[in-house]
A and B are shown apart, each in its own frame.
Chain A
Amino acid sequence: MPFFNTVTIRTPESVELEFVLAGVGSRAVALTLDYLCLGSGLLGLAVIYSFLLVRLLAMDSVLSIPSETVQLWVTAIAAVLAFTLYIGYFALFETWWYGQTPGKRYAKIRVIRDDGQPERLPQATLRSLLRPIDDILFIGFFCILLSKTEKRVGDWLAGTLVVQNDAVASGEIQVPERSQAIGIDLLALVDITDLSPDDCATVREFLQRRSAMSPKAKILVSDQLARRFKAQLRLETLPTEMTTETFLEALYWAYQRQE
């Protein structure tokens, strides 16, 4: 079952690029986090504003300016700053970080242009300026939910898409020396091409994710995988005594070497 919508973009060079759209959930996550950041920024601004106002009004007699003028000026400056913060937060982050804000970075999504190019200042500003409209009565939410390309009003006008970030390979796998040696022994013993690239990917996934697994589950899964690959490689006896995890490390190493 496909859980995420995809979109295919054809570049001017006739290269087809496929992107996975961000999905309502990720966008909700990003929005929540960004509004939390922005909210604390605005709160800080409000605190500074009220502090300044009180202080300046107390200095009324020193400055020899009518207190109403001071009040108006400080309020006006604070309002402009609040607006700048609200618009600037999204516009500047999305420009500097090529379509990402702190929230989007956490949610692993990014804004791109309809032609697949990274988002720049004009698009970011337009999206940012139209954000209040999308927020009113959840218009943006319904647009994202109902449109095939998951665009809110700001996205339609700026000509942008929100897509999932390409997965960055999550860390190199450290294979201990002993496992490396066993892996080289294995290469001599079996035909490693009996393993498909998919199998290798499974082993890699396991090795990458094992540290997050509970100890009991780790043993269980490595046992299952090792048994299956041992049978698949028609390996009757192992070169030496080893744990199933070492065996999988060795397999992974051997597969990498063969390539």
Chain B
Amino acid sequence: MTPSAQQGNQLGPLNPGDVVSAALRLYKDRFKTFVQLAALATLWLVAGLAGMGMAIALLAGVGLGLGGDGGAIAGGLLGFLVGFAPLLYGSAKYYAISGVIGRLSFQDLINQPETSLEARRQVAPRLGQFLFLGFLLMLAYLAAYLVGALAALIAGGSVGFLTAGIFSALINEPVGAVIGIIFGGILGLGILLVALIWVASRLFIAEVVLAIEPRQDAGGSMSRSWELTQTAIMRIQIVFLATFLIQLPIVSVTNYIPSILLEFLPADGIVYGITTALSLLLSLVGSLVVLPLWQAVKGVLYYDLRSRREGLDLSLRQASDGEGV
């Protein structure tokens, strides 16, 4: 760290690598709290899914009893609709509790640590806003996907045709067509990826903003995340890649390798069923363990961006010095 940034024990803006290191250190220091919160969040998500499944099964059973097969289908559909309530509640809870982890990390950084209970009490009243934020984020990604796909289609298509034409004239038609398809495809895919990554980075810290800033609502947190990340897109990519690399040892064991191995099993029989269930459980545990790391990274990133864009560390340093004056 730069010597000046250490003054008053208040960290200043951080390098991308230091964001990740600090997040990892926070996770290490509050391992129990963070894992407990992550487990709670995951349980809520699972409970939401289970609630939906139960609603479908229950109403389909009732329908079967009342009106045979037709009744079962009608009951199942009704159950699907009713089941949305527990699913939405569960995912809102998941989202809010994940936000709490980010909040705790941030509070540690500004030297005003909170207990998990305090933080949850602060966040709890905004459960509806978390649900709404999830909905808004989904819309934003959908819009980004549509716009990106359209741009990719236009740019990739035209460049593909152009190169195909040029190479057809230079070499021969089949080679030209292949080169054109490859060029256009790569360009289109690139444009789509860039569009998605761009929007995802701009909205990366939205739920942490909602969990940290008092009197903030869903729309406000989204625009806040948008505003803070304005000049930091590349930095966020680096942070993202480094965090991804660090969680890889865990996630590859719990999620990636089992799902690859699963591909080689014959897709029938009890063994397959049990293995699938086990690997699902394992991947759930893996995601549970890395969730706090991602949330801590978001919390640290929020602190870093506020220090850069708004001089948060300077105000804090002054506040802590000012008490003695």
Pairing of A with B: yes
Q: Which residues of A contact B20 (CB under 8 A)?
A: 23-26, 28-29
Q: Which residues of A contact B321 (CB under 8 A)?
A: 198-199
Bound-state CA distance A206–B311 (Å) is 8
A214 at the interface (CB under 8 A from B): yes
Q: Which residues of A contact B270 (CB under 8 A)?
A: none
Bound-state CA distance A161–B248 (Å) is 24
- Taking CB atoms and an 8 Å cut-off, the chain A residues in 128-157 that contact chain B are 138, 141-142
Indicate the member of B22, B241, B246, B311 with the most A CB atoms within 10 Å.
B311
**B 1-40 to A, binary, CB cutoff 8 A, 1 in contact else 0:** 1111101110111011111111111000100000000000
Q: Choose among B17, B29, B111, B309 the residue that contacts A25 (Cβ–Cβ < 8 A).
A: B17
Interchain CB contact under 8 A, B17 and A109: yes
B318 at the interface (CB under 8 A from A): yes
A62 at the interface (CB under 8 A from B): no
Q: Choose among A1, A24, A107 the residue that contacts B246 (Cβ–Cβ < 8 A).
A: A24
Bound-state CA distance A130–B249 (Å) is 19
B108 at the interface (CB under 8 A from A): yes
Interchain CB contact under 8 A, B238 and A221: no
For this complex, into which size category does the number of interface residues on chain B fall?
35 or more
Bound-state CA distance A63–B116 (Å) is 76
Interchain CB contact under 8 A, A23 and B21: yes
A178 at the interface (CB under 8 A from B): no
B242 at the interface (CB under 8 A from A): yes
Q: Which residues of A contact B310 (CB under 8 A)?
A: 213-214, 217, 220-221
**B 310-321 to A, binary, CB cutoff 8 A, 1 in contact else 0:** 110011011001
Q: How far is the CB of B97 from chain A (nearest CB, A)?
A: 23
Q: Which residues of B contact A220 (CB under 8 A)?
A: 310-311, 315
Q: Closest residue of chain B to A26, judged by CB? A: B17
Q: Choose among B9, B308, B318 the residue that contacts A225 (Cβ–Cβ < 8 A).
A: B318
Bound-state CA distance A108–B17 (Å) is 9
Bound-state CA distance A259–B201 (Å) is 45
Given A202-B318, A204-B4, A217-B311, A141 and B249 contact (CB-CB distance below 8 Å): yes
Bound-state CA distance A213–B20 (Å) is 23
Given A24-B20, A231-B325, A212 and B308 contact (CB-CB distance below 8 Å): yes
Given A25-B22, A202-B314, A209 and B245 contact (CB-CB distance below 8 Å): no
Given A202-B314, A202-B317, A108 and B13 contact (CB-CB distance below 8 Å): no
- Taking CB atoms and an 8 Å cut-off, the chain A residues in 21-54 that contact chain B are 22-33
Q: How far is the CB of A183 from chain B (nearest CB, A)?
A: 20
A224 at the interface (CB under 8 A from B): yes
Interchain CB contact under 8 A, A221 and B315: yes
Interchain CB contact under 8 A, B17 and A213: no
Interchain CB contact under 8 A, B7 and A26: no
Bound-state CA distance A24–B24 (Å) is 8
Q: How far is the CB of A234 from chain B (nearest CB, A)?
A: 11
Bound-state CA distance A210–B17 (Å) is 23
Q: Which residues of A contact B269 (CB under 8 A)?
A: none
Bound-state CA distance A22–B17 (Å) is 9
Q: Choose among B1, B13, B23, B249 the residue that contacts A138 (Cβ–Cβ < 8 A).
A: B249
Given A32-B242, A224-B315, A225-B318, A25 and B16 contact (CB-CB distance below 8 Å): yes
Bound-state CA distance A33–B239 (Å) is 11
A228 at the interface (CB under 8 A from B): yes
Q: Which residues of B contact A27 (CB under 8 A)?
A: 17
Q: Closest residue of chain B to A29, judged by CB? A: B17
Bound-state CA distance A26–B239 (Å) is 9
Bound-state CA distance A1–B5 (Å) is 14
Indicate the member of A1, A210, A228, A231 with the most B CB atoms within 10 Å.
A1
Indicate the member of A20, A23, A210, A213 with the most B CB atoms within 10 Å.
A23
Indicate the member of B11, B16, B248 with the most A CB atoms within 10 Å.
B16
Q: How far is the CB of B225 from chain A (nearest CB, A)?
A: 14
Q: How far is the CB of A134 from chain B (nearest CB, A)?
A: 12
Q: Closest residue of chain A to B246, judged by CB? A: A28
Interchain CB contact under 8 A, B314 and A206: yes
User: Could you write out 19 A-B pairs with CB less than 8 Å apart?
Assistant: A4-B18, A25-B16, A25-B17, A25-B20, A30-B17, A106-B238, A138-B248, A141-B246, A142-B249, A167-B1, A198-B321, A199-B321, A202-B318, A205-B12, A205-B314, A206-B314, A217-B310, A225-B314, A231-B325
- In the A-B complex, the 5 residue pairs with the smallest Cβ-Cβ separation, listed nearest first, are A26-B17, A25-B20, A23-B21, A25-B21, A167-B2
Seen from chain A, the residues whose Cβ lies within 8 Å of a Cβ on chain B are 1, 3-4, 20, 22-33, 106-109, 138, 141-142, 164, 167, 198-199, 201-202, 204-206, 209-210, 212-214, 217-218, 220-221, 224-225, 228, 231-232
